[in-house]
Structure 1
Amino acid sequence: MHSTLTEHARCLWGDEYRPTPACAERHHEESYFFERLTFADADAILAMLRELSPFLCDGYLPVWVRNLAYRLVLLQRPDDPDLLREAAASLRLHGPGWDDIAAQLQQRADALEEQAPPN
């Protein structure tokens, strides 16, 4: 069993920056990864996204995995403007079909910052 969500994703899809580790579980099902992703906390998901795609537009994670991961993080942290903007930027990188959702995320981030008390 992989000790982290990041290791599990790296094993399944590889890593643009590091060699894919030897894994005795080469024939495991993607469904186990998605089960783990579904119940992962936001920190574990963000660690995976940031380690495997440190520049947002890179990495070998499939687009749909990245979109799902951001969706799950935003469900856990719906009021984080920086995270909303990061998810919006990721969506914009993957074609115009996601631009409306990216714009909505950006608007939510702007609204949250307007409501925040000044520092």
Structure 2
Amino acid sequence: MKKQFSFFLTLIAVALYFLFEGDLSLKKEEDGAKRDEKYYQTKMCGEFGGKMEYVLFDKARVDCLTDEYAIEVDFAKKWAEGIGQSLYYAEITRKKPAIGVIVGEGDEKYLSRIKTVADKYDIKIILLDK
């Protein structure tokens, strides 16, 4: 239990580092349009029939809450933040954790990192192509 708690705190620290590293919310697409996380969140949550921006008791917002999953949507580079948020949201909502990972060219190293942790903690990975 102590080891898992320590690991979880490390994940939160890494997530905070990436959170303040820079604004990764907008990416250019092939058609020249910019897509932010909200675009992918809306598209994915609609397909899953979930509730967007589900507000928790502490005012935190789950990107998409379904009958089975609490889903955090993030760009692949923000992998650690997504893991921490998905685990927290799942714990509070009593759902399974999931991450909607927005991936594009060159994101393989981030997917490898996500998969390593997701396999251990049973976090569902949903790939969202840029």
Do the structures match in fold with TM over 0.5? no
| TM-score computed with the length of structure 1 as normaliser | 0.32
Higher helix share: 1
| TM-score computed with the length of structure 2 as normaliser | 0.30
In our comparison, the structure showing a higher alpha carbon Rg is 1
Higher strand share: 2
